Amino acid sequence: GGWSLRWRGSEGDDSWYGGRGTTVVEGIEHVTGTRPNYISGVDINGVWEENGKEKLAAAVQSVDKVIVCLGEDTYAEFGGNLDELSLPQGQIDLVRHIADNSSADIITLLIQGRPRLLKNVPTLSSAVINCFLPGPWAGIPIAEVLYGMTNPSGRMSFTYPRYELQSTTTYWQGIYNYTNISGGSSYYNPEWAFGYGLGYSDISYSDIFLSSDVLDLEDGSLTVKIKVTNHGPYDAKEPILLYLTQQVRPGYVPDAYRLKAFDKVDLAVNESKEVSFVITKQGLEYYGRDLQKHVDSGVKFTITINAFLDHEKTAEFSTSGQYKFARN
């Protein structure tokens, strides 16, 4: 990538690295002991090589799995400026061409410094791994994830956009983007929301336990507990993300799914652990138009643990008492 051995990276000339680094192909060979069949198909700009479609169709017809690497060229500063975020159309067509000529599972690797729009690539893929910009030595760790030597535990650090109009907001969203005025789901539908991510283990969560369903704003606190169980088949590092959503905020739009606490626990197969968090009035504060911190009394909050995932859990509490701002 940019600002490595050169200002804009290797720019397609890997000799600059002098053999220091591993490609994904080399990483797979290192992990499995077998060099995979590699077909380029298109270049980084999406231009098909000569007879590329025919070669690709012949190569994927009788295989069980196809690993596709998509992304962008190395860049730095203004050299990476874009007029639009979509991947080159040739890269997207590459995935469609594989799907049209094979029944194999498609595992797509995204190797890029920013979220490029994927169009129908996720629906054509059995799995997508967002590798971000992993550096020249990434081939082996990527292969270790692909072949189950590492159980992935990362979560999205920003909201990955599905459309151009979503690209300017990487985390904050008002509740109006998730619930429309009729009470149903809204139109907001990113590719992957902030905090989304999967691993290989079957993880289950108990219901949320609250020490009280009312938080006193004068001197109270609230303890949140939940039990996490790993049913296997792999040991896991499981992130637990706790979000708060204020259901009504007089005069303001509350933010939806505001991350307020998190933890990450090691879980062996068939192991359970209890995770606890403490919510205080400081965790409910927001800035008003007067540039002072406020907390509303007599309103409801929703606690969501692991939002957007199948094992999402929710609970509610309300506030009472009089909030007094205190400078720490």
Its pTM stands at: 0.90
More confident residue, 164 or 5: 164
pLDDT(67) > 80: yes
Q: How far apart are CA 51 and CA 42, in angstroms?
A: 10
The rounded mean pLDDT for the chain is 90
The answer on pLDDT for 51 being more than 80 is: yes
Residue 285 has pLDDT above 60, yes or no: yes
pLDDT in tens, 174-217: 887 766 555 556 667 889 989 999 999 999 999 999 999 999 99
The enclosing H or E element of 64 equals none
Helix boundaries (H) for 151-213: none
| Better pLDDT: 193 or 98 | 98
> How far separated are the first and last CA of the chain, in Å rounded?
42
| Predicted pLDDT of residue 16 | 63
Matching fold, domains 14-150 and 202-320: no
pLDDT score of 260: 94
Q: How far is CA 92 from CA 25, 46, 70, 124, in A?
A: 20, 8, 8, 10
Would you say 148 and 225 are in contact if contact means Cβ atoms under 8 Å apart? no
Which range has the worst mean pLDDT, 22-36, 118-132, 176-190, 286-300?
176-190
In this structure, which amino acid lies at residue 70?
Answer: L
Compute the distance between CA of residue 265 and CA of residue 166 in angstroms, rounded to an integer: 32
Phi, psi of 303 (to 5 degrees): -95, 130
Cα separation, 276 vs 6, whole angstroms? 46
pLDDT range class, residue 2, cuts 50, 70, 90: confident
pLDDT at 112: 92
Between the alpha carbon of residue 187 and those of residues 122, 144, 177, the distances in Å are 19, 37, 7
In the chain, where the domains are located: 14-150, 202-320
Q: Which residue has the higher pLDDT, 238 or 287?
A: 238
Question: Residue 326 pLDDT > 90, yes or no?
Answer: no
Alpha carbon distance 195, 159 (integer Å): 8
pLDDT score at 290:
87
Q: CATH top-level class for 14-150?
A: alpha beta
State residue 180's pLDDT score. 57
CATH no. of 202-320: 2.60.40.10
Map residue 234 onto helix, strand or coil.
coil
